[in-house]
Amino acid sequence: MNNLLDDYALMSPLRYHNNKLKLGVAIFGILAGISSASLATPIFVVFCMGIATVFFGKVPLKFYIQLMLAPMSFAIVGAVVILFFFGFGNEVFSFEIFSYRLVANAQGIDKALQVISRTAGGMSCMFFIALSTPVVELFSVLRSLKIPDSVIELSMLMYRYIFVFLEVAMSIKYAQTVRLGYKDFKRSFSSMAMLASTLFIRSWEQGEKLYLSMSSRCYDGKLSMFDARRPIGISEAILSGVYIISTIAVSYIVII
């Protein structure tokens, strides 16, 4: 919970590159992975994005691998369902649980592998954005995409207060744990509720204070922000170009 990916993004050397290029590259990867029929394209995307994140973004390799494995648990549960309930074709293997026969067949295995590889491809692109672009930098991109100001402002204030409340929640939880608040199920249940309600009341009071402090500083419904100009360098343009072309090439070659 303490380990927000944003911390890594703030330290990443990739932070100082053009945000739209980074977003474009990642979104291209997601779309390429999801729309390709073969396994090769998502795997290629995972490979490229992994290199970009670990090598250019200087994220520790061990941490990155742990990160990639975490969302896989959901993908694997879903893939198991697909494996046994999807498709027809030759039976590959089967076994019985509680006198209920589970059959996996060729099409089901194909589909399950495809889902796992697509999820891996998509997640690697997500991690690339998350580990290279701090959320603060995304707001100006959002504004240039003509998202309404009220929504952007809401997100900015929310972003700020997430960290404030995380700290409050952590210290309350620490204090509760020290006093054996989580020693058994019943205790942890009431501790949890106490924590959440205190957090709600605290955040409410904080919100009222925030309004007062903002209006006393002449808040008129618009927060202005600084948008650093970062032109796209030649080397990164070439690199992303090569990446995009080779991804397209991989998906075409495998189809043929």
Site for other proteins in 61-80 (CB under 8 A): 67, 70-71, 74-75, 77-78, 80
- Determine the Cα–Cα distance for residues 79 and 87; give it in Å rounded to an integer: 13
Q: Is 111 in the site for other proteins (CB under 8 A)?
A: yes
Site for other proteins in 149-178 (CB under 8 A): 150-151, 153-155, 157-162, 164-166, 169, 173
DSSP assignment letter at 256: -
CB 53 within 8 A of CB 132: yes
In whole angstroms, give the CA distance from residue 61 to residue 54.
6
Closest separation in Å from C-beta 136 to other proteins? 12
Nearer to other proteins, 210 or 244 (CB): 210
Measured distance CA(222)–CA(70) in Å, rounded? 39
Can residue 28 be called a binding residue for other proteins (CB under 8 A)?
no
Long-range CB pairs of 234-240, under 8 A, 24+ apart, other chains included? 236/17, 236/18, 236/21, 237/21, 240/21, 240/24, 240/25
Q: Which is nearer to other proteins, 88 or 226 (CB)?
A: 88
Burial of 16 (0-12, 13-18, 19+ CB in 10 A): exposed
Q: Does 194 bind other proteins (CB under 8 A)?
A: yes
Contact flag: residue 140 with other proteins (CB under 8 A): no
Closest CB 234 distance from other proteins, rounded Å? 28
Q: Which of 125, 139, 243, 251 binds other proteins (CB under 8 A)?
A: 125
Binder to other proteins among 43, 54, 199, 248 (CB under 8 A)? 199
Member of 12, 49, 109, 127 binding other proteins (CB under 8 A): 127
Beta strands in the chain (DSSP E): 91-97, 100-105
Closest CA to 199 of 168, 225, 227, 223: 168
Total number of residues that touch other proteins (CB under 8 A): 82
- Cβ neighbors of 10 (< 8 A, separation 6 or more) are 134
Q: Is residue 123 near other proteins by the rule CB under 8 A? A: yes
**Nearest 10 degrees: Cα torsion 105, 111, 116, 120:** 150
Stretch that binds other proteins, among 53-61, 91-99, 119-127, 227-235 (CB under 8 A): 119-127
Q: Is 128 in the site for other proteins (CB under 8 A)?
A: no
Region near other proteins per CB under 8 A, out of 47-55, 89-97, 121-129, 240-248: 121-129
Q: Which of 51, 61, 175, 201 binds other proteins (CB under 8 A)?
A: 201
Q: How many residues does the chain have?
A: 256
Q: Which of residues 226-255 bind other proteins (CB under 8 A)?
A: none
Q: 75 and 115 in contact (C-beta within 8 Å)?
A: yes
| Residue 38 binds other proteins (CB under 8 A) | no
CB 22 within 8 A of CB 101: no
